[in-house]
Amino acid sequence: MINWRSTFAIYRNELSRFRRTVFGSIVSPVLTTSLYFIVFGAAIGGRINEVGGVEYGAFIVPGLLMLTLLSESTSNASFGIYMPRFTGAIYELLSAPVGVAETLLGFVGAAATKSLILAAIILTTALIFVDYSIAHPLFALVYIMLVAASFSLLGFILGVWAEGFEKLQMVPLLILTPLTFLGGTFYSIDMLPSPWDKIALANPIVYLVNGLRWTFYGHSDVSIGVSLGLTLAFLAICVAVIAVIFRTGWRLRS
C-alpha cells in the first residue's frame, strides 16, 4: 500500500524548497530564454525567413522550451535527493515508512511540477517576442509532462550517484546542454550538411526536440511515433534503474 500522506509530505516539502529559491528558479530561466529570443530570434532570425513553413522565431520556441525543461527537471530532482544526502537529513527519509513509490512520486512529482510551471512561464515569455500557436495543445501538455517526469527521474538517479556538487552539475552542463544545442533547437536537421544530418540522428535529444515541435506545428524532422516511443522507453529505463537502486540500497543504505 502506498503511503499517500508521506508522498504528499515529500511533495509539499520539495515545492516549499522551490518557493524559497523562487528568484533563481524562475527569474534565471526567463532571463535566459529572453536572451535566446533576442539573440537568435530577433538578431539572427531576421536573416532567416522560415524553417519548414514556420517563422524562425516561432520555430525555436519548442527547442528553447526543451532546453529549459531538460536542464531544470534534471537539476531540480538531483538537488532534491542530493541535498539530504549531503546534509545528513537522508536518515529521516530512510527511516520513514516510504519506499520507492512514495519517494519517486514525491521528489519526481515535485520536480516535474516545477518544470511544468516553468514551461508555462517560458511559453508566456515567448509570446512577448514571437507570435506562435500550438497545433496540438493537449498533446503538447502530455509530451511536456512526459519529458519533465523522465528527466526528473534521470536527475534523481544523478542525485543518488553524485558524490559531490561537481558531479551533480556534470551531466546537465556537459551532456544535456551540448546535446540540446546540437539537437536541432535552433535549426532543422536537414539544414545540416551531409554527413552531419545523419550523425545528428544519433543524438537522442533530436527526437525530444522534434517530438515537441511536432505538437506545436504538426510536422518535424523525425516521426512523432519514434519520438514518443523513445521518450517512453527512456522513462521506463529510469524507473527500472531507480527500482534497482532502492532494492539494493546503492549509495543510500550502508
Partner 1 sequence: MKPIPQPILDIRGLTKVYPGGLKALDSVDLEIRKGEIFALLGPNGAGKTTLIGAVCGMVRISSGTINAFGEDLARHWRSARQRIGLVPQELGFDMFDTVERQVGYSRGLFGRAPDASRVEEVLRSLSLWEKRGEEIRKLSGGMKRRVLIAKALAHDPELLFLDEPTAGVDVELRRDMWRQIGALREQGVTVILTTHYIEEAEEMADRVGVIDKGRLLLVDEKDEMMKRLGRTEAHFTLAAQLSELPPALRDYPVTLAEDGRTVCYRGGDGTGKGKAEVAAVATALVQSGIVFTALDQRESSLEDIFVGLVEQQGLAA
The residues binding partner 1 (CB under 8 A) are 1, 3, 5-6, 8-10, 12-13, 16-17, 20, 83-84, 87-99, 249, 253-254
6 or 113, CB closer to partner 1?
A: 6
Closest CA to 17 of 118, 114, 142, 129: 114
- Name the minimum Å distance from CB 7 to partner 1: 9
User: For residue 60, what are the contacts with CB-CB under 8 A and spacing of at least 6?
Assistant: 36, 37, 40, 41, 45, 185, 186
Whose Cβ is closer to partner 1: residue 16's or residue 28's?
A: 16
Angle made by CA atoms 44, 57, 63, in degrees to the nearest 5: 105
Q: Based on CB atoms, which residue is closest to partner 1, 77 or 171?
A: 77
Locate cell 534523481: which residue? 156
Query: Does residue 83 contact residue 155 with C-beta atoms inside 8 Å?
Result: no
- Three cell numbers written together for 154: 534521470
In the complex, the smallest distance separating the C-beta of residue 108 from partner 1, rounded to whole angstroms, is: 16
In the complex with partner 1, the residue whose CB is nearer, 105 or 212, is 105
Closest distance to partner 1 from the beta carbon of 106 (Å): 9
Nearer to partner 1, 5 or 198 (CB): 5
Please name the amino acid found at residue 168: L
Of 14, 11, 35, which is closest to residue 25 (Cα–Cα)? 14
Provide, rounded to whole angstroms, the least separation between the CB of residue 226 and partner 1. Answer: 40
Q: How far is the CB of 118 from partner 1 (least distance, A)?
A: 21
